[in-house]
Amino acid sequence: NGTKRYITNAAKASMFTLMARTDPDTPGAKGVSAFVCPADAPGISLGKSEKKMGQQGAHICDVIFDNARIPATCLLGEEEGKGFVTAMQVLERGRLHISAVCVGVAERLIEDATKYAAERKQFGQPIGNHQLVQAMLADCKTEAYAARCMVMDASKRRDAGEDVGTESSCCKYFASEMVGRVADKAVQIFGGAGYVADYGVERFYRDVRIFRIYEGTSQIQQMIIGRNMVREASE
Ligand SMILES: Cc1cc2nc3c(=O)[nH]c(=O)nc-3n(C[C@H](O)[C@H](O)[C@H](O)COP(=O)(O)OP(=O)(O)OC[C@H]3O[C@@H](n4cnc5c(N)ncnc54)[C@H](O)[C@@H]3O)c2cc1C
């Protein structure tokens, strides 16, 4: 029983992955198992499609479990109680994925803003000639480059079999905050045009806001990074 809120494309899904406490006597992560279950299993229903700030191409709604019964054959993996470990493995990869998306969006925004700064003339000269506009472009470029290097490094280390729990959180935290700052500066460089839907920058500004929230908020990434650091230091 319960409701999982805000599931992307739930209305299109024929299967759900879900975590459920299978051992009520074992507190914490160890009593949780992972399942893959059909979306039409008895007791599973969907809430209404939510109206969102951005990312209008992806729809979200609640998935509601009301005395839902899931057959034991839907258990993911061979053992009960491994659900949290499974979730962590997926999240580590997911965080690197979101970080890479943030870098991609930032690079697109920087390209658009740089072109606009070179083309847009005010009082006889391109706005890109002004050092204050160049400073905004330079900040964007520097931060996006730093995030790209972080994502490449953490991904390579993960591919080599290293545990990158801390690094994937560092990437998600920095890259998602970075693309928010870049989108904000891109709107500023476009001036009034940055606030108008026709130019596209306004849409990115709204779309990137969610990156700081899903797959673990920035505060959750800070907690993971800090906790891992303190734990490793005391081992
Ligand atoms: C568009 C969209 C798509 C989504 N898609 C999916 C999906 O496909 N699958 C899925 O499972 N989920 C999905 N989500 C859910 C999303 O992952 C959660 O909304 C997100 O993790 C935050 O959880 P919450 O909304 O419960 O916020 P809360 O946990 O209530 O957090 C609210 C605030 O409190 C802070 N906070 C909470 N706990 C702590 C703490 N311990 N220490 C410090 N600060 C804390 C948070 O950082 C945040 O600032 C989606 C959400 C949205 C909006």
How many Cα atoms sit within 13 Å of 171 on the Cβ side?
31
Locate tokens 């999982």: which residue?
A: 4
Tens digits of residue pLDDT in 115-124: 999 999 999 9
Please state, in angstroms and as integers, the Cα–Cα distance from residue 77 to each residue in 41, 137, 150, following that order.
20, 48, 32
Tens digits of residue pLDDT in 197-215: 999 999 999 999 999 999 9
The per-residue pLDDT for 186 is 98
Torsion 150-131-109-7 (CA) sign: positive
Please identify, among 81, 110, 140, the residue that sits at the C-terminal boundary of a domain.
81
The per-residue pLDDT for 136 is 98
Which residue among 214, 224, 225 is best mutated to probe the pocket of ligand 1, counting the most ligand atoms within 8 A of its Cβ?
A: 214
Pocket of ligand 1 (CB under 6 A): 6-8, 52, 55, 60, 210, 213-214, 216-217, 219-220, 223
Tens digits of residue pLDDT in 36-94: 999 999 999 999 999 999 999 999 999 999 999 988 899 988 889 988 887 887 888 99
Please identify, among 66, 81, 96, the residue that sits at the C-terminal boundary of a domain.
81
Q: What is the CATH number of the domain that holds 25?
A: 2.40.110.10
Tell me the DSSP string of 74-137: GBSSSSTT-HHHHHHHHHHHHHHHHHHHHHHHHHHHHHHHHHHHHH-EETTEEGGGSHHHHHHH
134 and 229 in a single domain? The answer is yes
Percentage of the chain with pLDDT > 90?
86
